Amino acid sequence: MKLNWQASAMVSCLHAAEAWLRTPARIDPALARALATPVGALQAMLQEEGVVPDSFWSQVIPLAASILSLHELTIVTLTKVMGRAQALPRAARICGLLGDVKNAFLGAVSHPDTETVSARAALQQRWSYRGQKLLSRVVAWTDPGILVDEATIIMVFPVLGGGGSAHLPYNSVHIETVPVDPHVGLPEVLRLAWLLSALNLDLPRYCENLRPNRLTQIAGLAMVPVILTAATELSLECPISKRLGQAIEEWVGSPEKVEAWADILTVWWESYRTVRPAWATALQALDRLLP
């Protein structure tokens, strides 16, 4: 897999804004206070204008890595979410609120790119040592076509102390650059491998038989035991029996569902290891098992 590494202050800003919406208690209090008013106003405007917030955030974050103009970013994002005719009359107000969010973030974190230079270099170094080996084991446990040929890694300011998301339509991921691995026994290089491993699962052969709007959840959960198994084979001490629940909570989220998801994944993965059906068939089975 060819990887393009980049940093983006705007993606850092939008990642922080979405993090504030989802888990404000995990963010530095000063940054949380700075973001509260502008992010709250933006979220309220999205709802008022009939823009589905989850769809907006899932598009605007990866797009911000390559679109520097805030006005163009707003137009392109809204067009993808609701069509150009609906986007144009809403763009000016939403663009202004995005500008407010950006200013608030940069006021609290003045140099998000330069502040994480050493952490970014450390992540790249760890990846150069372990990353491709992990991905080769992912292929061995799943399907020869599981990985994209090329992907972009957007490194962002660590507002959560470890976090990130995969953007399947864009073959990109964003990941926080933390100075040290925040979770004992679960190094961030595994999170990065987990994010990258899911990027091709939006191909029709993998997702066309899943229930509607389930791809993100199924892809994220399915790749957790794959990554932990690959890590164990490479002598990283991440046995599923000890790390599955932790990985689900830290990578996938939804802590209230961790126990139930871990039980289902344990049964599903053991069955898969025994039978070894086609990966698309395994994903369909997981979709049926999850409520």
Residue 3 placed within a domain: no
Please, what is the end-to-end C-alpha distance for the chain in angstroms? 34
DSSP state of 234: T
Task: Please tell me the distance from the alpha carbon of residue 44 to that of residue 97, in angstroms, as a whole number.
Answer: 10
Domain extent at residue 48? 8-111
Same domain for 137 and 251? Answer: yes
Is residue 185 situated within a structural domain? yes
H-run or E-run covering 192 = helix 188-197
- The answer on 243 and 133 residing in a single domain is yes
- In 3D, which of 36, 75, 37, 34 has the Cα closest to residue 56? 75
| Rg for the chain, CA atoms, rounded | 19
Does pTM surpass 0.85? yes
Same domain, 132 and 261: yes
Same domain, 60 and 138: no
Per-residue confidence of the chain (291 residues) as pLDDT tens digits? 999 999 999 999 999 999 999 999 999 999 999 999 999 999 999 999 999 999 999 999 999 999 999 999 999 999 999 999 999 999 999 999 999 999 999 999 988 887 788 888 999 999 999 999 999 999 999 999 999 999 999 999 999 999 999 999 999 999 999 988 888 789 999 999 999 999 999 999 999 999 989 999 999 999 999 999 999 999 887 778 889 999 999 999 888 999 999 999 999 999 999 999 999 999 999 999 999
What secondary structure letter does DSSP report for 181?
A: -
In a domain, 1, yes or no: no
77, 159: one domain: no
Helix/strand/coil for 25: helix
93 and 148 fall within a common domain: no
The arrangement of strands across the sheet holding 172-176 comes to: 2-7, 150-156, 172-176, 164-167
Question: Are the CB atoms for 140 and 132 separated by under 8 Å?
Answer: no
Structural domains in the chain (count): 2
